[in-house]
Amino acid sequence: MENVDFARLQMAFTLGFHIIFACIGMVMPFFMVVSHKKWLNTRNPLYLELTKAWQKGVAIFFVTGAVSGTALSFELGMLWPEFMKHAGPIIGMPFSLEGAAFFVEAIALGFYLYGWDKLPEKFHWFTGIIIGLSGVASGILVVSANGWMNAPSGFDYINGEFTNIDPVQAFLNPAWFTQALHMTLAAFVATSFAVAGVHAYQIYKGRRIELHKKAFKIAIVFGAVAAILQPISGDLSAKDIAKRQPVKLAAMEAHYETQKGAPLFIGGIVNEKEKEVNYKIEIPGALSFLAFGDFDAEVKGLNAFPQDELPPVAIVHYAFQIMVGLGTLLMLSGLFYFLSTRKKHWQSKKKYWLFFTFLAPLGFIALEAGWVVTEVGRQPWIIHKIMRTKDAVTPMPGMEFSFYMYVLVYVTLAITVTWLMRRQIKVLNASKY
Amino acid sequence: MLYIVLFFTFFSFFLYVLLGGADFGAGIIELFASPKDKETARNISYRVLGPVWEVNHIWLIILIVILWVAFPGYFNVIMIYLHLPFVLILLGITLRGVAFIFRHYDAVVDRSQVLYNWMFRISSFITPIFLGMSFGALIGGEIIITEDYAGYSFFEIFIDPWLNYFTLLVGLFYATLCAFMASTLLIGETQGEARKMFSRKSANYTLLLVIIGLILVAYGYFTEVEFILDFITNPVSIGAIVLSAILLIPLWKSIRKQNRIWSRWLAGIQVVLVLFAAIYAHFPYIIITSEKELSLLEGVAPDEVISNLAIMLIIGGAVILPGLFHLMRSFNMIKILEKEKEEMKP
């Protein structure tokens, strides 16, 4: 492997890590304020206990997300100096706004964490709302910057020079809306199912059932609603990609030959050499319909594009299958939850809680797979059709050592945070009310 | 518009150096304190810095974002040639941040606290040293900017410029500065024994700071580091340094009297004066390479970008600064004022 491959691995690894922590830090405040509100309304001490337990989770994830985010803001320049030199000024607007939103979030978090019994009750609760809203705003802004890499706009590219820069147009690039919507919903799905799963496991184990049922209910409602909305957003994204990045769509579907009434492949093993997909399930005309809303529409295949502009097809195809498969499962689980609120006796069965425990990691797996689709699917470009990834990488050799070091540090961090969360739950279970 | 961007660049630079520095400093004080003082320092730094420490470090992110948006050519040079010290800085920031949160938010207090504490203290010391070394490298005149990477060894391009005696001195100077700021800040936040401890430490660190500063300038002078030479021949810079030296006297007095407000202001002003003196002599040429001086303004972003950024910064500032002020007032200043009122009542 070359330097650029290690730089890409490091970027993928650190981003993949940051995404998990950032999503939890972004969504958990919403659970916290709901529980806090219920405490204010009902004065049931269980809600206060839950709010304080979740608040510790928010603090730990916020900091881990913040430091890994700081690392990323440097890494963009350290790994891809050529990219940042040209792209930095163009996509500066979402980043500077994101800095502001992040700042607001940190200030609000300072108020919230240290404000118990010091601030007026309502104002204190309100600072929690600000944490949530500014977190979501940060997420949307960062995704907008990523959207620009998929749909570069707001400049003229003449003889290798970027001129006539319009930062507002770059910020509101054609990809930003569908990407931000999909990502925000995904963050809610993944975090909610993960948190609900953790509490479901406690109920399954028969520990402090009343407390954990309250926690489960708050989290799962967010997740179920988001999971049911997600396919609509997915459809918008697919239609958008079909227009803007047809090669990415073709890779997602491992669709080699241009054809009218293109079939949708489900599963299958990609043979990149022979350019075919074996052992797949075919649904005739479905790809044309999903991409263009017309069963007979022509869908361009991978063979219609220059061969040096193709992304690694197999990775993108598998990641896409994983994302859609798990997304569908979670959507059905969301419907199942709402159904179960009508059939109370289901919830008394242990299997019910085991099922939701099993769902806990799936949202995040789907979310990571989604990022693989959008990032690997854009290769070999770092800026779609403008700059290749290999031309953006740092001239410094030895990126493999940097990659190994980051893996070591981040894996240790991930293990530690998991361990800390287990301790939080143990303490929560051990306290008596 | 460019001036607004420049203002915010230096505003966040100074604030990071001051507030982020005080934050690092709290850890440094803890590292070099006796076991009993370590405990005091730990508790106080949690109480005082807890609500604001995360905010302090966001100035670094703001600074980085401004640099890459407005001064991409400059940012590009830093990111390529100072890759390694920045990896170490990031490692330090990461370990320090998580250690701080772990030691205060871990649900179980047990032997793992020992690990968190040492992780926090050591990274608090190492990180500002590498920050100082990176700054030292920018002004040290050893950076080789080239397209011909095969013509030089890895060491010549990626290590030597930031790893030498001059940069080490700058690093030590900044670490001492951090400890000095933290101890001076914390005088105002404590009472009784703890306050005496911080007053003593503040005086010691001031002395150490002056000594290291003199060694740094002397070393730079004798090895002909251009930045230092220009710095000591520029009248405005000398004026600022002289002023800061004169201010040492009231500072020492106020530290000895354990005056919280004055010592804090004087310390802040002094640090800003020294930084100003250092940067003024060379502005806008803030990267000095082996061959030429690179201006901050070289390869500055186009006007539309600068105007847009300036507007964003003004809007952001209007939202953030009142909130930040309120946060600090809620948890620090008000507490001090209230305490002072209480103390006045016999």
State the residue for tokens 């097809």.
Answer: A313
State pLDDT tens for residues A167-187: 888 888 888 899 999 999 999
Q: Residues of B with CB below 8 A from A102's CB?
A: 58, 61
| Torsion angle, alpha carbons of B315, B319, B321, B322, to 10 | 140
A113-131 per-residue burial string, b: 16 or more CB within 10 A, e: under 16 = bbbeeebeeeebbebbbbb
- E strand or H helix at A282: strand A276-283
Q: Residues of B with CB below 8 A from A73's CB?
A: 61, 64-65
Higher-confidence residue of A290 and B191: namely A290
Among the partner-chain residues B75, B87, B98, the one whose CB lies closest to the CB of A84 is B75
State pLDDT tens for residues A27-76: 999 999 999 999 989 988 889 889 988 988 888 888 878 888 888 888 88
Task: Determine, for residues A166 and B304 on separate chains, whether the beta-carbon distance falls below 8 Å.
Answer: yes
State pLDDT tens for residues B106-149: 777 777 788 888 888 888 888 888 988 888 888 777 777 777 77
In chain B, positions 3-22, which contact chain A (CB-CB < 8 Å)? Answer: none
| d(C-alpha A39, C-alpha A51), whole Å | 8
Distance from CA of A181 to the nearest CA of B (A): 23
Distance from CA of A63 to the nearest CA of B (A): 7
Residue B249 exposed, middle or buried by CB count within 10 Å (0-12, 13-18, 19+) = exposed
* Shortest CA distance from A170: residue in chain B: B305
For A398: left if phi > 0, alpha if psi spans -120 to 50, otherwise beta; the answer is left
State the residue for tokens 């992780």.
Answer: B119
ipTM of predicted assembly, 2 dp: 0.81
Task: Determine, for residues A77 and B78 on separate chains, whether the beta-carbon distance falls below 8 Å.
Answer: yes
Q: Please give the pLDDT value at position B345.
A: 38
| d(C-alpha A397, C-alpha A399), whole Å | 6
**Would you call B153 an interface residue with chain A, using a CB distance cutoff of 8 Å?**
no
**Would you call A86 an interface residue with chain B, using a CB distance cutoff of 8 Å?**
yes
Give backbone dihedrals phi and psi of A164, rounded to 5 degrees, phi first.
Answer: 50, 50
Give backbone dihedrals phi and psi of A294, rounded to 5 degrees, phi first.
Answer: -150, 125
Mutate to test the interface with B, among A21, A85, A90 (most CBs of B within 10 A): A85
- Count residue pairs from A and B with Cβ separation < 8 A: 197
- Please report, for chain B, the start and end positions of each structural domain, with discontinuous segments joined by +: 2-335
Q: Is A280 helix (H, G, I), strand (E, B) or coil?
A: strand
Of the candidates A203, A217, A211, A214, which has an alpha carbon nearest to the alpha carbon of residue A341?
A217
Contact residues for A348 (Cβ-Cβ < 8 A; gap 6+): none
- A313-340 helix and A176-204 helix, angle to the nearest 10 degrees: 60
Task: Determine, for residues B61 and A396 on separate chains, whether the beta-carbon distance falls below 8 Å.
Answer: no
Residue B24 exposed, middle or buried by CB count within 10 Å (0-12, 13-18, 19+) = buried
In chain B, positions 60-89, which contact chain A (CB-CB < 8 Å)? Answer: 60-62, 64-66, 68-70, 72-73, 75-76, 78-80, 83, 86-87
Task: Determine, for residues B72 and A396 on separate chains, whether the beta-carbon distance falls below 8 Å.
Answer: no
Among the partner-chain residues A62, A99, A395, the one whose CB lies closest to the CB of B149 is A395
Distance from CA of B277 to the nearest CA of A (A): 28
Task: Determine, for residues B86 and A73 on separate chains, whether the beta-carbon distance falls below 8 Å.
Answer: no
| C-beta neighbour count of A21 within 10 angstroms | 22
Q: Residues of B with CB below 8 A from A118's CB?
A: 330
Give backbone dihedrals phi and psi of A214, rounded to 5 degrees, phi first.
Answer: -65, -45
Local confidence band at B152 (pLDDT 50, 70, 90 cut-offs):
confident
Cα distances from A68 to residues A21, A270, A420, B29, in angstroms, run 9, 35, 18, 26
Among the partner-chain residues B55, B76, B100, the one whose CB lies closest to the CB of A85 is B76
Mean pLDDT of B200-210: 84
Q: Residues of A with CB below 8 A from B90's CB?
A: 70-71, 74-75
In chain B, positions 233-292, which contact chain A (CB-CB < 8 Å)? Answer: none
Walk along chain A (433 residues) and give the pLDDT tens digit of each residue: 788 888 888 889 989 888 998 899 899 999 999 999 999 899 888 898 899 889 888 888 888 788 888 888 888 888 888 888 888 888 888 888 888 888 888 888 888 888 888 888 888 899 999 999 999 999 999 999 898 888 888 778 887 778 777 888 888 888 889 999 999 999 999 999 999 999 999 888 878 888 888 899 999 999 999 999 999 998 888 888 888 888 888 888 888 888 888 888 887 788 777 777 878 888 888 888 888 888 888 888 888 888 888 888 888 888 988 999 999 999 999 999 888 888 878 877 888 888 989 998 999 999 999 999 989 988 888 888 888 888 878 877 888 888 898 889 888 888 888 888 888 888 877 765 4
Give backbone dihedrals phi and psi of A311, rounded to 5 degrees, phi first.
Answer: -75, 165
| d(C-alpha A371, C-alpha A359), whole Å | 20
**Would you call A412 an interface residue with chain B, using a CB distance cutoff of 8 Å?**
no
Mutate to test the interface with B, among A70, A79, A156, A404 (most CBs of B within 10 A): A70
Distance from CA of A349 to the nearest CA of B (A): 31
| d(C-alpha A109, C-alpha A119), whole Å | 13
Residue B291 exposed, middle or buried by CB count within 10 Å (0-12, 13-18, 19+) = exposed
In chain B, positions 120-149, which contact chain A (CB-CB < 8 Å)? Answer: 149
Contact residues for B39 (Cβ-Cβ < 8 A; gap 6+): none
pTM of the model as a whole: 0.85
Contact residues for A295 (Cβ-Cβ < 8 A; gap 6+): A261, A285, A286, A288, A289
Give the mean pLDDT of chain B. Answer: 78
Residue B193 pLDDT > 80 = no
In chain A, positions 32-61, which contact chain B (CB-CB < 8 Å)? Answer: 56, 59-60
Task: Determine, for residues A96 and B309 on separate chains, whether the beta-carbon distance falls below 8 Å.
Answer: yes
Task: Determine, for residues B94 and A396 on separate chains, whether the beta-carbon distance falls below 8 Å.
Answer: no
Secondary structure of chain B as H, E, C letters: CHHHHHHHHHHHHHHHHHHHHHHHHHHHHHHCCCHHHHHHHHHHHHHHHCCCHHHHHHHHHHHHHHHHHHCHHHHHHHHHHCHHHHHHHHHHHHHHHHHHHHHHHCCCCCCHHHHHHHHHHHHHHHHHHHHHHHHHHHHCCCECCCCCHHHCCHHHHHHCCCCCHHHHHHHHHHHHHHHHHHHHHHHCCCCHHHHHHHHHHHHHHHHHHHHHHHHHHHHHHHCCCHHHHHHHHCHHHHHHHHHHHHHHHHHHHHHHCCCHHHHHHHHHHHHHHHHHHHHHCCCCCCEEECCCEECCCCCCCCHHHHHHHHHHHHHHHHHHHHHHHHHHHHHHHHHHHHHHHHHHCC
* Shortest CA distance from A417: residue in chain B: B102
Residue A418 exposed, middle or buried by CB count within 10 Å (0-12, 13-18, 19+) = exposed
Distance from CA of B301 to the nearest CA of A (A): 6
In chain A, positions 229-288, which contact chain B (CB-CB < 8 Å)? Answer: none
**Would you call B312 an interface residue with chain A, using a CB distance cutoff of 8 Å?**
yes
Cα distances from A161 to residues A87, A155, A164, A165, B309, in angstroms, run 11, 10, 10, 11, 21
| d(C-alpha A28, C-alpha A24), whole Å | 6
| d(C-alpha B333, C-alpha B100), whole Å | 23
| d(C-alpha A223, C-alpha A195), whole Å | 10
